[in-house]
Amino acid sequence: MHIVVVGARGQLGRALQGALAGHRLSLWTRPEHDITDPAIADAVAAANPAVVINAAAWTDVDGAESHPDAAFAVNALGPKYLAEGCARCGASLVQVSTNEVFPGEPGTFYREYEPLGPGSTYARSKAAGERAAARMLSRLYIVRVAWLYGPGGNHFPGKILAAAERKGRLQVVADEVGNPTYAPDVAGAIAQLIQTGRYGIYHLVNQGHASRYDWAVELLRLAGRSQIPVTPISRADWPRPAPPPAHAVLVNQAAAALGIRLRPWQEALAEFVGRMQPEEDTDPTGEMP
């Protein structure tokens, strides 16, 4: 199958290259393939693939608050143009979205059919991208993921390990809960999903959920750094321009019905740590709550 991967340099884009290795892949990156350019629709139509997977996005959640037009251009107009190109050549589209389209009420577990309630500019732009793609194209898979990490990415586990090295102790938010999700597992599930032809909305997260504190403690344990003290703090102690939803926990109901299952988050994290440990491939640029 000819598949175009858009945003091929991102952490999901890289993982997709591995999961789709048996296919004919076109790997699109910017500036040659900028999804904010309406001409991207012409490029899709000319490439005439069977499937386009949009792994490109504005992912700076806090930065979207001060750059809403730029965030909407990438996250809402980009999917619209890609869907338009797919409609012209008969391709299907995988539009990747986020758990943050939900309000994240404590105690709620979000299945695919729940009403949206995006709380930040980033989340509104992603919800707008879902709607825009759906208006243009029926051969559409909307794939919502959460708390993504994987090789080569700028992610929470990398920041936690770097901060542990630098400071010797950590404070991590304990009242923000989500699904830690390994990008290669999502990529593998997308590879299965596009074979089904069963278009619609899918949640694809590793099984189970955790607070950021739980995630950090398990990560340090797996990395042999359990001696690092971790103090639980609350979201209020770590103010952000775009306060994240407290409990935007996804349930993969639709994928499970097709027999597509992702393993528990702890198993995926153990594999990630095992793979990264020899080269200590962490990003020392910052720290996340």
Ligand X SMILES: NC(=O)c1ccc[n+]([C@@H]2O[C@H](COP(=O)([O-])OP(=O)(O)OC[C@H]3O[C@@H](n4cnc5c(N)ncnc54)[C@H](OP(=O)(O)O)[C@@H]3O)[C@@H](O)[C@H]2O)c1
Task: Extract the runs of DSSP E, i.e. beta strands, from the chain.
Answer: 2-6, 24-28, 51-54, 92-98, 109-110, 140-145, 148-149, 170-173, 177-178, 181-182, 200-203, 210-211, 230-233, 249-250
Site membership for ligand X, residue 147 (CB under 6 A): yes
DSSP state of 207: B
Among 74, 76, 86, 94, indicate the residue that binds ligand X (CB under 6 A): 74
Among 2, 26, 27, 36, indicate the residue that binds ligand X (CB under 6 A): 36
Residue closest to 8 by CA, chosen among 42, 52, 45? 52
Q: Which is nearer to ligand X, 227 or 282 (CB)?
A: 282
SS3 content of the chain, % helix, strand, coil (to 5): 40, 20, 40
Site membership for ligand X, residue 12 (CB under 6 A): yes
The answer to whether 182 is a known catalytic residue is no
Q: Which is nearer to ligand X, 126 or 228 (CB)?
A: 126
Site membership for ligand X, residue 101 (CB under 6 A): no
Q: How many CB atoms lie within 10 A of CB 1?
A: 12
Site membership for ligand X, residue 9 (CB under 6 A): yes
DSSP state of 237: G
Site membership for ligand X, residue 92 (CB under 6 A): no
Q: Which is nearer to ligand X, 125 or 171 (CB)?
A: 125
Active centre residues (catalytic): 122
- Using CB under 6 A, list all residues that contact ligand X: 7, 9-13, 29-30, 33-36, 55-59, 74, 96, 98-99, 126, 145-148, 153
